[in-house]
Chains A and B, each alone.
Chain A
Amino acid sequence: MSIQDVSPCVKCYIMEVQPNETLTNLKAESDTLKTKLEDERAKLHDVELHQVAEKVDGLGQFIMKTRRTLKGHGNKVLCMDWCKDKRRIVSSSQVSVWIIVTFSEEHAVTMPCTWVMACAYAPSGCAVACGGLDNKCSVYPLSLDKNENLAAKKKSVAMHTNYLSACSFTNSDMQILTSSGDGTCALWDVESGQLLQSFHGHAADVLCLDLAPSETGNTFVSGGCDKKANVWDMRSGQCIQSFETHESDINSVRYYPSGDAFASGSDDATCRLYDLRADREVAIYSKESIIFGASSVDFSLSGRLLFGGYNDYTINVWDVLKGTRVSILFGHENRVSTLRLSPDGTAFCSGSWDHTLRVRWAALIGIHIFGTRGTVV
């Protein structure tokens, strides 16, 4: 019986037991399999995205304006999330977590914490979750009393063995999904702190996650330092799809609004679109002049626009279908660390290491007619 006949599970075990000669064999085997996978994927690839998009009207010029600038964090803004009421946001920095009624620029709550790298608003709007270097994710029920000490009522829900990089509530306040620097993701029951499911498969820190839109099932996508974006089944804990086309860490992943695709932003200065049903990467959003990594991405409501916050302090706006850049936005004075569209798509908010959060709105002025591939900016 040769090494080829042995099942892959056993092969991995052998790899640990006899390192030298089998390691090179296994590496060669692994590379062959990967090539085979790409061949299989290519077989059904009969058209490119921009070809199908040729029939679609091009986008015209945009004017994008900053409608709110929220200062006062006094520290690098690391993460933010919108409340379903479309007006409030929770944002975290190196030293505190804030809840701000962005629309009226009113400060609701401040909670002192350290290096909070992830924060999320509960669907009911009555609690927030956050965590970071403490390796935990804690849920804070919110209160109407501004002076109440929220830290007293906090509930530690998730426990990882390394930093918490991202967290998100599922469809209710009762469950939280987390990703961590320990290379795993996990689903937790908030009330009891019980681990409901864990997800193993990344070879390095997991940096981001996003839940599929609720109607399309029980899956989520995660991206990590191993350059992989994995799609997981929440029920079984299995990784059902994996994509490895980025050349560096994946900092952010976000589902296309229909749930059939997702975008990723990476340190390799590109954003990419992956089609889940065709099981392949279908677009790369890059430009020679964009050299620095993308830290966070989000789609507009129709999925036509992809907003990317970058480490060179800019935000690039891409035409998802045609693959061209529509606009570049300046204004931040340090890295853009987080970027989210508001729940009804009327604006998006970007947070930066320059201590500010900006809410921006855009208007399209003028539309190109059929046939053009859109303006190249």
Chain B
Amino acid sequence: MTIRNVRDHGQRFRPRMACLKKVESVMLEMQDPKTGVKSQPQRLVITTIPHAITGEDIVAWLTNCYSIETEEAWALGTMLVAFGYIYPLQDHKRLVIKPDASLYRFQTPYFWPAQQWPVEDTDYAIYLAKRNIRKKGILEMYEQVQYNSLHKWMNHKWDFIVMQAKEQYRAGKERKKPDRVVFDCQERAYWVVHRPPPGTVSAMDYGLERMVDPNTEEMIFTQQSIMRPRVKSSVSIGALVKYSVTYNKHDPFLAPCLPSNPWVTDDVTYWLLNMANVEIPTKMRVERWTFSFAELLSDPRGRDDFRLFLKKEFSGENLAFWEACEDLKWGTAATMNDKAQQVYKTFLTRGAPRWINIDGKTMEVTVKGLKHPHRYVLDAAQTHIFMLMKKDSYGRYLKSPVFKDTQKRAICPDQHMFSVSQLEANARKRRPSISPIIVRQLEQEERARMATSGPVDITQVMSKLSNKGKEVPPSKK
């Protein structure tokens, strides 16, 4: 049979099934008499089924049409069957494509999932009743269960249902035998898709309903968008490409992790070497710190190194201020006021113990804002200090003895070469790692211990935590 056109079956009201329109156009192509899948009449039991196609022909056609591998064509074919656009003639309850001589047929558009009328239980009841009339006991176990439950809750219109079933049965008998067989196959296939046997995956299952209101417009916003400053594509795209190329060697999917990817070899050395507060970092890790200032700050080990450098330069207050701002921004609402006051006293007020150097305008704005503090009150000052560190301190850090020393001492582990038996041993030795709850408890205990050992400033606490064993600088007030 040939299909000439496909109507839009109100798809915009069922956006979760946006794929159906595309599937329908595939079906049209597949049934094209010249370029579609080859079909021929097949003998099945005592009747001849027209326009039957084999599983292997379907897979071959898909492979050819989309230039894809067989496995993908097979997966795609299975989806077409799962949605009910193609149905199997044998083993009709398993909606998969078997890439052999198994027979399939294209489903008639009347039974396509995209039809505008929803699949109703009443129709299902009529269908089951009709089959029952034709031959008692023909219903499968799960169908019988469904039938009984429908009979119970649709009892009030059961007469109507039986009447419809009888009518359909009678009309069916008047058809020619081959037509009747074909129609029965199609109808049966339709119900396997929409009322799947228990334990099977149903393609009609699309999860929760979503609300869609296609009529709302947003004009205020478009007006503003037009005015927005933009960057040339060559500049911004260039930056995206550059980022990807820069990080290429650091991407575990593109370059090997040293010594080995723990997921592959079950050896966790890679994770141990890259822990947050490890004494000696790896060469790869140190290299990342040179990519951008943000990268340096976001790595706790990198930040510690930077902090050490700043202390030597006596400009540690900048980083401390930045960290205090972060703490304010992301902290609990309840402590916000106190934190803001603390920051003011420590960093901003005249004669503050760790006074930071920001320009007059920013200071004015910040102090004014602190009268009614909110979590973003320090934003202007924080950005100023961040840019100061990025443009000035960061560059000097990368040339400093602190960094060069760290770079020199950084380790580059050799790649693991495990034998098969060693890999098996690794797999057996897999253990759950220390719980983050315990890690946090340990950190808190360490902090408490530092706090009780006399007045110290926070930078020392942090450097002590990371530089365990190194020299302890004199405490500042």
Contacts and interface: CB of A to CB of B under 8 A. Distances in A.
Contact of A330 (B18, B75, B212, B228): B75
Contacts of A171: 326, 329-330
B46 interface: no
B210 interface: yes
A126 B440 contact: yes
A53 B241 CA distance: 7
Interface string A333-375: 1100000000011110000011000010111100000000000
B251 A204 contact: no
B22 A291 contact: yes
Main secondary structure of the interface of A (DSSP, over half): loop
Interface string B41-83: 0000000000000000000001000101101110110010000
Contact of B69 (A133, A192, A225, A377): A377
B425 interface: no
B251 A302 contact: yes
A172 to B, nearest CB: 4
Contacts of A143: 437
B210 A201 contact: no
B294 interface: yes
A172 B332 CA distance: 9
B219 A26 contact: yes
A291 to B, nearest CB: 5
B238 interface: yes
A291 B79 contact: yes
A249 B16 CA distance: 7
B218 A302 contact: no
Given A192-B334, A279-B228, A267 B19 contact: yes
Contacts of A293: 18-19
Contact of A363 (B201, B256, B333, B435): B256
A67 B427 CA distance: 11
Interface in A66-100: 67-68, 83-88
B314 interface: no
Nearest to A259: B294
Contacts of B292: 215
Given A226-B213, A278-B233, A302-B248, 6 more contacts: A37-B226, A85-B436, A125-B435, A205-B210, A257-B247, A346-B257
Interface of A: 8-9, 11-12, 15, 26-27, 29-30, 33-34, 36-37, 40-41, 44-49, 52-53, 56, 59, 62, 67-68, 83-88, 101, 103-106, 108, 115, 117, 124-126, 133, 142-144, 162-163, 170-172, 174-175, 181, 183, 189-192, 194, 196, 201, 203-205, 207, 214-216, 218, 225-226, 235, 239, 241-242, 247-249, 256-258, 260-261, 267-269, 275-280, 282, 287-289, 291-293, 300-305, 311-314, 320-321, 328, 330, 333-334, 344-347, 353-354, 359, 361-364, 377
14 contacts: A48-B233, A52-B241, A53-B241, A214-B298, A239-B221, A248-B15, A260-B240, A282-B237, A300-B252, A301-B251, A302-B244, A305-B251, A346-B262, A353-B201
